[in-house]
Every structure is written in structure tokens, then in C-alpha cells.
Amino acid sequence: MRRLALVAAALVPLTSLATATACSSPAATTSAASTAAPVPSSATPTASRTPSPTASPAATPSTSATPSPSGSPAASPGARSCADVVARMSLAEQVGQVVMVAQSSTQASRSGRATIRRLHLGSVVLLGNSTAGRSRTARLTSSLRRDVGRVDGVGLLVAVDQEGGLVQRLQGPGFTRVPSAEVQSGWSDKTLRTRAATWSKELHEAGVDLDLAPVADVVPRSVGTRNAPVGALHRGYGADPVVVARKDVAFVEGMHAGGTATTLKHFPGLGRVRGNTDFAAEVVDGTTTRRDALLAGFRSGVQHGTEAVMLSSATYRRIDPDHPATYSRTVVTTMLRGDLGFSGVVVSDDLLGEALASTPVGTRGVRFVQAGGDLALVGSVGAAAQVHRGLLDRARSDRAFRTRVQQSATRVLELKSGQGLVSCSGS
């Protein structure tokens, strides 16, 4: 597995894809594409994506009404269900909907576009820091969607890490400079909601559907900057779970108001660990429990309509000592689905993270989906093909697993429907 050391400077690009994912270093670029190549000037920004409703004005989790998913169109009485759309897909197309592949935030590679078309991959995440600005990013996302086409009328979902501070992938003209979550936590909830709506509109106009934010991890004061993935990078909203929950809700509501879907991360929390799962082979939390008070941000974010939740790749000894959260049915199905009542898309952190390196690449997606996960994020084109092959082979030979793939693909389409990428309704 290719891994480089964490670079201290915020905008110095790395070559390892996994370092740019949600549990990550501040700067990275994909090796699948040339980061400095020009974006085609003939492409135009996506114009058909549906804007979301205005966020609830409430300032705290306890008083806000739960918003509908970002941009969800009203389903007509005769509307087809997303499950029906999935059922009409080939098995390879269904598998493609549960894989998200990395592409450069400056120009998607030829090999990436070809692989997305060939494997019917349904989602991409833009990695690497870009200063190209909103207009050029919009041309990139539009040309990428046009080149890869639609699968059974289902469009390509585009995601990005746009937290703020050291983790703001898209910058330049048309993008507001977003401060770190540590700075955001000092604002009032109303101010954060309003500013998040502005950031969201910028992403929406750039053709981005899903922000892999906000961070819901609570870093105790006793850990502080010794926490490599969050505390050391100023990515968290603080040490008080009540405050973190309020800020997560304000961010989610603001994003929804601007038309962008959100992703709480990294469930069930990375605030107590020391190592970064992108670089460390074993990252263990020996404290967090199933009903831990530090889960407050996830609980409130789910109650207020986040479309996705990203899993941690750490292992939680007091929850499931035998599996990292990525592969844990206890974490995904019992806690997230059951205890928190989450019915949206469960996305992995980068499956190429070092914490998962003991599992063959082609098996990682299978174990993730078996645990109840829906969208496997893979930080390179070649590895995404291996993950797709592993999922497809297992689905062909195992009827129960094939049903799981269909369930996950349906959840992904429900998220896409809310972003205007397919016309279908939930169950």
C-alpha cells in the first residue's frame, strides 16, 4: 500500500490518494490524473440539479424541526420507486452504484472516465486541493457527467471534502475561504447556518452533490492535539458533545438550504484515538461504548436529516473488538441503523486506509457491504476496479449478498433522487 508521511503545510500536494479522504491529511492529489491539466472550456455547469428547501430556523438540536433530504422532489402518486429502478439494472450496474471512486479535483483522468463507464460506477469524490475556482470546477463536473453518461437514467453523484481549514478541497474564485471547524465552533448557530448555506450554494453551482462533512467527532480536552485525525488538524467542533451536536445541526441545515447533501463522520467517533487510520496499521479506541455521550453529534445530525454517515476505520474494543467499524455489523446495523434510526447512506472512509491493509483489496468492499454499508469509497481507479470485481463475484454466487447490494443501491438512488440525479421515490 502506498503511503506518504503527513505533510505539515496545508496546501502541499501528496501522491497518496487515501490521504485526501475524510479521516485525512490536509492536502493530497490523486495519482490517477494530472492535477495541472486544463479543464475543457466547452463544458457547461449542470443546470438541472434540484435546489433544496430552506433549512429550519431553529438554533439547537432540541428545537429544530427535521428537514426533508436536500433537494428531495415531491413524489407523484404514480412515481416509480428507487427499488424498481435498481431492479431493472444489471447486476454489474447495481454493484456500480455502491462504489465511489476518486478523481482529481482539477481534471478527471482518461483512465478514470473509462473505468467509470466500463464498470458503471455511480459516484466520484474529487480529491486533491484545487484553486481553479467555481466556474472551472463546474465545467469539470459537467464534462465528467457528460463523458460517463447515465446508467438507466441515473446520473453520476459528485462528492468532495469541504470541511474548512486544512480540509477544503475546492478553493479559488467563486469559493469562500472556509475556516476550520475549531473556528466555526466560536460562531453562533445562526451564523454558522447562514455561512454554511453560502458555502453550499457555491458547491451546488460547481456541480457538487454531496459534502463529506461535517465532522461529528468529539475530541476530549485530555486528548487534544494528540488526536492525529481530528484534534491535531483543528477539524472538530470541540470537547463538549452538546456544543458539537448543535454545530453539526447548524452545518447540516445550512448545507441543505444551499442544495448540498451532507455526511456526518466518522462514526462512532475518532475523537479518542491517537493514530490516523490512513497511515497507522492499527488504530484502537478502548473507551467508546455503544451508548456513549460522545455520539451526540451523530445522533442529532441523523435526527436533522443528514443524507449520509461515514464510518471510522478504527476498532472499538468496547463495542466490537474483533472488527474495525468498517466491517462491524454491531457498529453499522445495531448502532447506526438500530440505536440511531439512520435509514440513509452509510459510506466508508477510504478503503485503502492503512488500518484496513490486512484485508485484500478485492475483499474490503464485500466485508463493508456485509456489515450493512452502502457506498464504498476507494481512493484509486485500479483499486476501485478490484473492489467492484470482488462485490460482483460475491453477488453472483450469494443470493443473500445480492439482496444486500440491491438494498444499498436503492439507498444510494434515494440520495441521488434528492439531488435531482434520478427521478424515483423512496419506499
pLDDT digits over 134-150, tens only?
A: 999 999 999 999 988 88
- The candidate with the shortest Cα–Cα distance to 374, out of 343, 347, 393, 344, is 347
* Domains annotated on the chain, with CATH: 21-35+77-418 (3.20.20.300)
**Kind of pairing between the strands at 284-285 and 315-316:** parallel
Q: Are 199 and 193 within 8 A, CB to CB?
A: no
Helices then strands (H, E): number in the chain? 12, 13
Tens place of pLDDT for every residue, the chain, 427 residues? 333 333 333 333 333 333 445 445 554 433 333 333 332 333 333 333 433 333 333 333 333 333 333 333 444 445 799 999 999 999 999 999 999 999 999 998 899 999 999 999 999 999 999 999 999 999 999 999 998 888 889 999 999 999 999 999 999 999 999 999 999 999 999 999 999 999 999 999 999 999 999 999 999 999 999 999 999 999 999 999 999 999 999 999 999 999 999 999 999 999 999 999 999 999 999 999 999 999 999 999 999 999 999 999 999 999 999 999 999 999 999 999 999 999 999 999 999 999 999 999 999 999 999 999 999 999 999 999 999 999 999 999 999 999 999 999 999 999 999 999 999 998 6
Sign of CA dihedral 406, 410, 411, 416: positive
Give me the pLDDT at residue 26, please. Answer: 59
Q: Report the C-alpha gap between 205 and 198 in whole angstroms.
A: 11
